[in-house]
Amino acid sequence: MTTALVPHQPPLRQRAHVPRTDRLDSLTGLRFLAAFAVFTHHFTGASPTGGVAHAPALFPYSTMGVNGVGFFFVLSGFLLAWGHRAGTPARDFYLRRAGRILPLHLAATVPCIWVFHVWGGVPWDLPSFLASLVLVQTWFPGVVPMFPGNGVSWTLSVEAFFYLLFPFVIRGAYRLRTRALLAVAAAGLVAMWGVNWWAATHLSPFHCEWLMRHPVTRLPEFALGVALALAVGRGLRLPLRPGVLTAAFAAYTVVYVHREDWFGPAVSGQLDWTVRPLVALFSALVIVAYVRRERDGERGWLCTPLMVRLGAWSYAFYLLHQTVNRLILDRWGQAAPGDQNVFALIGVATVVVALSWAAYAYVEEPARRWWAHRQRT
């Protein structure tokens, strides 16, 4: 695969600080697909005996949906760098991020208190719960349980760390040439593979799982998104087709989920330790492919009004889906395995979408507008 840079690029100092303000509807649609992949993984379970309703037609391939969070981390880095305006004070950036993330996070935590801890009886302690409210629960070991508060908010804790670093990272990234940026991003993915390998072979399962969710170990995914946003903004063009990438990822998924059946321990282990960096790379290539298509005037199904709306609601969808799943389990119990559970998955997803629309319309957007108004006054 070769890269083609647009000829006659302006000098680095002239092009590095040009903000990318293009609206990218396809990436909004992709956000919902990533959130739906995570939902599907949780609904069908990580094992044949887990989840809300096991569907053999989807399992074990649905387990790859857990890596939707890796896509979020890459996309977050890409979008923050793509829309960044040089000279923006760090304080303004932090306040905007807080107004975007915190209101719905806090609102979505309220039903979790009842569903998981009061009704569900999941053990917890006050320091861990408070850590989840301020989104630092993944920064330190020993929280109880490993996912306190709204369990899925562990990814927001990782994102909060990225936000903390971003004003400093972007300044350094602006000073690097495109080749150096991409080299640093590639080195980060290699380091991620090495850390995954070392943790799996040297740490206890608990500490290994905690390390795999620590913000520092997920930083290469975010950095890859930042690097590619600047590279594409400077003129990098890759001859990528989303359909070909999707087919390649589908083939990789088949190999990955059957790794223990098809390969020996050495190969199976390497496939397990490389899955996060490889998913990050695939995510980055898909993002770049859709950005190129959209900027060239090719608007596909991801840019339709329905997908854009679903993408706008995807943050609420992600925050609410596990609460609904747990409520179903506590109220009606786990469904008997069967392919008919695909219809149950679609039905529950529709309910979560409806709740997500309400959360977006009556909590997330009003809070964002109110916060933005306060920043202007």
Closest CA to 148 of 166, 131, 164: 131
Q: Report the predicted TM-score, pTM, of the whole model to 2 decimal places.
A: 0.91
pLDDT in tens, 327-376: 999 999 999 999 999 999 999 999 999 999 999 999 999 999 998 888 77
Q: Where are the domains of the chain?
A: 23-376
- pLDDT tier at 10 (50, 70, 90 boundaries)? very low
**DSSP code of 56?**
T
pLDDT in tens, 209-221: 889 999 999 999 9
Q: Residue 11: its pLDDT value, please?
A: 44
pLDDT in tens, 247-299: 999 999 999 999 999 999 999 999 999 999 999 999 999 999 999 999 888 88
Q: Which contiguous run of DSSP H or E holds residue 196?
A: helix 178-202
Task: Enumerate residues 6+ apart whose C-beta is below 8 A from 130.
Answer: none
Cα 206 → chain centroid? 22
